[in-house]
A and B are shown apart, each in its own frame.
Chain A
């Protein structure tokens, strides 16, 4: 009788243990899976609507088209308002960035020191805009596992404006739901809320709402007309194309 009871307890323990083991993925794996969700398409084109909301609630809308290839080539071109139409930003590997101002008919390389500045009045810094895989930039640590989410603490590997980023990741699909950015003093300075939608085989960040908690200013980046894997060539991401 006693031995049967012991057996039952023992199998139960092993059973739950193995379930726990299956679920207990380590932090780098989770982050890698998130990167895969975010950066798996070979290329992407789409329309981007940027809504700037100041602390009084006034909204300002800008529109742009985005083309992206892999994780490190991106062309961003404004289409509205009229005064900004044609302004374009080209991001290339190794932190190389160019900006084109049509009124001058000339491109300018952007210094990498300017990259912690905000992009065009939004709450995204140039750094936030780049699509370098998180696994390359941060060392993750699993803070907690809840019913639907993993919560990771990311510590920057290299130079960064942030001391850490806390990211909440959907447990089923591995896309980020919330990123909270902390400054070097340990204060939460920004947060980004993500809304993902499935388009074809990929998960797409249909809206990112970035809030600057110090300035009480908000930016919504909304994506529409998104097309994946249309076979963009490298020629699309050259200074010559930027100036066109």
Chain B
């Protein structure tokens, strides 16, 4: 509703550097504005070039930029007292701006838009007129790129650290890797879900994977330490799994339910990214709990059966 009423939410600016009273620069501004407005997400765009066109129309010469610089200078004279002028041009008339708004907050639309605009600018800039796109969409594109990069890096580092730390506590690298498998599966499911439902990776949802990793790893650690304990007691892997699931398993299920329910409260939030955040955390809790109670026991039995077989052979 806000977007319909106010024509968009992200301010977009196209800055022109050159002699703003020259017909070429003003015509280029008009051309840029028309190109902007072709995008379905852009509804408003204004600049000093609009005002010059309107004044030219008022002087009876049609709604266009006059070809004669002298005419522009005199139309400019009429505009000088206007309150809006300082927002559109600088004092010495070497910089002007097109003010516009972009209606979509979808990072894909934003990226396509900035790419398209930058291509247009590249084609149209010349030595008399430099053009630059600024405003929120360009910032968003930069922000998104760094979000995705940092997501890759932080996830990779977190997984390696989890394997190392759990491995060193359990004094076995392979056990560290076993522990990490359910949580890696959960993250795969999480990103898959985001992809299918079209939930964008933004400032809020970018946190989910790391949080899921942090909380979800607990379940695996509970299972694997319990398993080790019972395995040492009676030496039977399948029995040990049974014990673990009956004791730690119950606690894990209760924990999954309470943590998920807690985060699902965010579904009632007014802010969409927070709704997504709550939903995704709940999904990854259920995923990692489920993984710890099904995937991890299967891996543990497989790993220990091998050991049993080799033990029997000797």
Contacts and interface: CB of A to CB of B under 8 A. Distances in A.
Interface of A: 54, 58, 83-84, 87, 99, 101-104, 106, 108, 117-122, 125
A108 B74 contact: no
28 contacts: A54-B91, A83-B70, A84-B74, A84-B77, A87-B74, A101-B59, A101-B74, A101-B75, A101-B77, A101-B78, A103-B66, A103-B68, A103-B71, A103-B73, A104-B59, A104-B60, A106-B60, A108-B58, A108-B59, A117-B82, A117-B83, A118-B80, A118-B81, A120-B81, A121-B80, A121-B81, A122-B81, A125-B81
Contacts of B66: 103
Contacts of B60: 104, 106
Interface of A is mostly: loop
Contacts of B91: 54, 58
Contacts of B61: 104
A83 B80 contact: no
Contacts of A125: 81
Contacts of A106: 59-60
Interface of B: 58-61, 66, 68, 70-71, 73-75, 77-78, 80-83, 91
A-B pairs, 8 with minimum CB distance:
A118-B81, A121-B80, A83-B73, A103-B71, A101-B74, A103-B70, A117-B81, A103-B74
B74 A104 contact: yes
Nearest to A126: B81
Nearest to B68: A103
B48 to A, nearest CB: 14
Q: Which of B71, B81, B82, B91 is the most central at the interface, judged by chain A CB atoms within 10 Å of its CB?
A: B81
A101 B75 CA distance: 8
B275 to A, nearest CB: 42
A99 B59 CA distance: 10
Contacts of B75: 101
Contacts of B59: 101, 104, 106, 108
A108 B61 CA distance: 12
A54 B77 CA distance: 17
B73 A84 contact: yes
B52 to A, nearest CB: 13
A21 B63 CA distance: 65
Contacts of B78: 99, 101
A102 B91 CA distance: 24
B20 to A, nearest CB: 13
